[in-house]
Amino acid sequence: MVMDKDEIIKQLLKDVDFKKLTPEQITGKNGLIQQLTKQIIETAMNAEMTDHLGYEKNERSTDKNDNTRNGKSSKKVITNNGEIEIEVPRDRNAEFEPRIVKKHQKRFDLFDEKIISMYALGMTTRDIQGHLEDIYGVEVSPDLISTVTNEIIKVVLEWQSRPLDPVYPIVYFDAIVVKGRTDGKVANKSVYTAIGINMQGKKEVLGLWIAESEGAKFWLQVVNELKNRGVEDIFIACMDGLKGFPDAVNAVFPQTRIQLCIVHMIRNSTKYVSWKERKPICADLKSIYSAPSEKAGLDALDEFSKKWDAKYPMISKSWRANWENLNEFFAYPADIRKAIYTTNAIESLNSSLRKVTQKRSAFPTDEAIFKVLYLALTRAEKKWTMPIRDWGAAMNQFAVYFGDRVPL
Where exactly are the structural domains of the chain? Answer: 1-106, 108-161, 165-405
With b for 16 or more beta-carbon neighbours within 10 A and e for fewer, the 256-274 pattern comes to bbbbbbbbbbbebbbeebe
Give me the amino acid identity at 139: E
Strands (E), 151-269: 167-182, 185-197, 203-211, 233-239, 257-260
Whether the Cβ atoms of residue 133 and residue 139 lie closer than 8 Å to each other: yes
Per-residue pLDDT of the chain (408 residues; tens, 9 = 90+): 444 556 656 665 666 666 666 766 666 666 666 676 677 677 777 777 887 777 777 666 666 557 888 888 887 777 656 677 778 888 888 888 776 666 766 665 555 666 666 676 667 777 777 776 766 566 667 777 777 677 778 888 888 999 999 999 999 888 788 888 888 888 888 888 889 999 999 989 999 898 766 667 888 888 999 999 999 999 999 887 667 788 889 999 999 988 887 877 888 899 889 899 999 999 999 999 889 899 999 999 999 999 999 999 999 999 998 888 788 878 888 778 877 765 556 667 777 788 888 777 788 888 888 888 888 888 778 777 788 878 888 888 889 889 999 987
Give the separation between CA 330 and CA 283, rounded to whole angstroms: 18
Give me the amino acid identity at 283: A
Give the separation between CA 117 and CA 403, rounded to whole angstroms: 45
Give the separation between CA 341 and CA 101, rounded to whole angstroms: 53
Give the separation between CA 142 and CA 305, rounded to whole angstroms: 56
- 11 Cβ contact list (under 8 Å, min separation 6): 3
Give the separation between CA 237 and CA 340, rounded to whole angstroms: 9
Instruction: From residue 342, give the alpha-carbon distance in Å to each of 305, 312, 338, 390.
Output: 25, 26, 5, 11
- 100 Cβ contact list (under 8 Å, min separation 6): 41, 44, 45, 48
Give me the amino acid identity at 72: K
